[in-house]
Chain A
Amino acid sequence: MTMGVHEIEDAKLIFNFGYNGADSHPIVQRRIVRAKQKGATIICADPRVTECARIADVHMQLKGGTNIALVNAMCNVVYNEGLVDQKFIDEKTVDYDAFVEVIKKYTPEYAETICHVPAETIRKAARMYAKAPSAMILYGMGVCQFGQAVDVVKALGSLALMTGNYGKPASGIGPVRGQNNVQGACDMGALPNNYPGYQNVTKPEIQEKFEKAWGVKLSNKVGVPLTHVPQRVLEEKDPKKQLHAYYIFGEDPVQSDPDAEEVREALEKLDFVVVQDIFMNKTAEFADVILPGTSWNEHDGVYSCCDRGFQRIRKVLEPPKGVKLDWEIICEISTAMGYKMKYKNTEEIWNELIDLCPNFAGATYAKLEKYGNIQWPCRSKDDSDKGTVVLHQGKFANPDGKGKFYTADWRPPQELENEEYPLSLSTVREVGHYSVRTMTGNCRTLRNLEDEPGWIQMNPADCEKLGIKHGDLVKVVNKRGWCITRCNATERVAKGATYMTYQWWIGCCNELTIGSNLDPVSNTPEYKYCNCRVEKLDDQAKAWEYVNTEYKSIRERMGIKMVGKEAV
């Protein structure tokens, strides 16, 4: 995020695009609610009536998979109605003319035919956004999880550029990142193209710096993105590009990645799979070796929150006997393989890495202790450098210091509805469960609130057509797979569209999601669009028996001993 979470409530206008804070980050949504209470205007673009859409001044309920048509149309209105910040464009940006050439075609009337938002609503939203004294864009997975995703991010960035909404408080553009430490994993260089601190692996001077620090020759070849793994295992013909071993650390791709069947096939075919985790999970079933690590609350360290804020995590409890600290396990394997790694504690690791990353260099443990939260860049160890709340102040991070305009023509999602599979399916979030649910599914009250087999959100008109009622078990199916879940009949979703959350073992929507349509830049899969068919199940009692038996059987496979009435 270019801004801080705490700034959201002071925004004059929030343009919330494909981001459902209420379910994915309630404490960020709290700031949006507060902004509204303080008089902010809220524009929401989302195919569902989310909590944000509900309190929005304008809700653009677009059809899934049409994001860029809508953004281009808003840019078109801003341009045609002369609502641009010409001074900002002239002084601080490049490539405006090429951008204008693309958006010219996207009149609100043309966009309406693609995204089903009335032209007048698009005009109203565009005017509101452009005329606001300062405006903040927040976006989420509803933008990122499409085959055309990075284009949309750049188009949203361009909307902010053409209206001069950068570098001032409560403005800019914020991807609100989902998982607790997804920002941190990126910061630390758990990326195939970057060393820690976003330093590119193909740059010779960077390579040299890390070779010197680590005392070993390094590769300058960009690595394989995680979402390419199934293809590199199952389809790759070039032996040099095939993957043979997979060391999976704190992830559960069988549950979380698209097209679960393909992931399972890949794990089966790999020569060697290591899983390092805290709980047994669906991926561990394919592991050749399982290494038990420590859990959150059992180790020290630093997380990066979604707005670049480094914060300490602390050991609250002693870990159970038999487990080891995650970094210790990896260091011991490395040492056994001939590359010695040994550290006393996380602070020693942290000190090594911040000295290799100019943007993190000033964020010492001592300062994190003192200030609680430091948003990088924080370059000086001096106490006076408390980090940076707002990015791109004065100039942009591009080499020429200028903001770059870009947008593209709309491409439809890869797999559209058809006669056999007439509905669209998108993954969404369940507020009380986290990620693959091995943690929250083992929490008593969170499990009480929501449990298997989850729900499929459907418009009541679609339910009526199929003769199904709210709460009925239904079968959801497409060419990749199927699952059984409950029908949630709700007017919050449009006709023809369905939504499921991805953490259920029985109501497992990733059996259906599509793994082959990745954004060409970010390699993010199109979780937000595939087709499906919902089938009525006439024998509900039998369907419930299937759900209960199957759930019990998976839990048994995970090592749960059935006691009491469950054992019967």
Chain B
Amino acid sequence: MRQFVKGNPDLCIGCRTCMIGCVVEHEGRRIFEIDPDGYDFNPKLHVVKTAKVSVPVQCKHCENPACMAACPVGCIKVINDAVVIDQKECIGCKSCMQACPFGVIDVISQVGTSQSDGSKRVVANKCDLCVGTGNGPACVRVCPTEALKLVSEEAMQESVQKKRVATAEAAKAIADAMAD
């Protein structure tokens, strides 16, 4: 079962530290040194604020990803058990963006890349669990209120097991009540 990062609206304070943390992790610490216009600011998660909720929203790393099925050039791949967009191969067709039921894919323009006519390349962008960095998801690390958690298979199984036990006990309670 694939891991994913989950935001907890009871803990989130809407500060968006996670969004910067994401960019810094993917662009590298060099961004604090280089020309301020020399990089793109494209977080792979977004803090959503409504009247009732503040929480970061990002890819769920589905087991059967709709984005992957929709991609006509096969540039969405599973790498180290994370669903990842290969932005080098992406043609920017927006199919994945439309296919994703959670609205967690957007298209971004990339600095320093260009097409044959000189215009900027536009590619799909989403959470990749910081795969390949060896540090785990940056958003989880930098959140000041621990509002983001990496949900592992074990944690999922544990939670499901707890619910199963609760359901079983409820079934017994109902049976007892009916016997009375």
Contact = CB atoms under 8 A, between A and B. Distances in A.
Interface of A: 21-23, 26-27, 29-30, 33-34, 36-37, 49, 51, 54-55, 431-432, 444-449, 490-492, 564
Nearest to A443: B32
A51 B41 contact: no
A30 B36 CA distance: 31
Contacts of B16: 431-432, 449
Contacts of B15: 22-23, 26, 431-432
B155 to A, nearest CB: 18
Nearest to B10: A55
Interface of B: 10-17, 19-20, 23-24, 31-32, 36-37, 41, 49-54, 144-145
B51 A29 contact: no
**By DSSP majority rule, is chain B's interface helix, strand, loop, or mixed?**
loop
A447 B37 contact: no
Among B13, B14, B23, B51, max chain A CB count under 10 A is at B13
Contacts of A51: 12-14, 54
B51 A30 contact: no
A22 B23 CA distance: 22
A448 B23 contact: yes
**By DSSP majority rule, is chain A's interface helix, strand, loop, or mixed?**
helix
Contact of B14 (A22, A34, A446): A22
B37 A564 contact: yes
Contacts of B144: 26-27, 30
Contact of B19 (A23, A29, A449, A491): A449
Contacts of B31: 444-445
B36 A444 contact: yes
B24 A445 contact: yes
**Among all A-B residue pairs, the 10 with the closest Cβ atoms:** A448-B41, A491-B51, A22-B13, A445-B20, A51-B13, A26-B15, A444-B36, A29-B13, A30-B145, A431-B15
B32 A444 contact: yes
Contacts of A432: 15-16
Nearest to B41: A448
Nearest to B39: A444
B145 A445 contact: no
Contact of B51 (A33, A446, A490): A490
A445 B54 contact: no
B19 to A, nearest CB: 7
25 contacts: A21-B13, A22-B13, A22-B14, A23-B15, A26-B17, A29-B13, A29-B145, A30-B13, A30-B145, A33-B10, A33-B11, A34-B145, A36-B10, A49-B52, A51-B12, A51-B54, A54-B53, A55-B10, A444-B32, A445-B41, A448-B23, A449-B19, A449-B20, A490-B51, A491-B51
A447 B16 CA distance: 13
A432 B49 CA distance: 16
B10 A491 contact: no
B141 to A, nearest CB: 15
A37 B145 CA distance: 11
Nearest to B50: A491
B60 to A, nearest CB: 24
Nearest to B16: A449
Nearest to B52: A54
A490 B32 CA distance: 33
Nearest to B34: A444
A34 B146 CA distance: 10
A431 B10 CA distance: 19
Contacts of B36: 444, 447
A427 B73 CA distance: 50
A29 B17 CA distance: 14
Contact of A445 (B11, B23, B51): B23
Contacts of B51: 49, 490-492
A490 B54 CA distance: 13
Contacts of A22: 13-15
Nearest to A442: B36
B97 to A, nearest CB: 20
A262 to B, nearest CB: 34
A547 B20 CA distance: 25
Contacts of A449: 16, 19-20, 41
A227 B126 CA distance: 49
Given A444-B31, A445-B31, A54 B54 contact: yes
Nearest to A29: B13
Nearest to B20: A445
Nearest to B9: A54
A21 B20 CA distance: 20
B64 to A, nearest CB: 34
Among A49, A444, A448, A491, max chain B CB count under 10 A is at A444
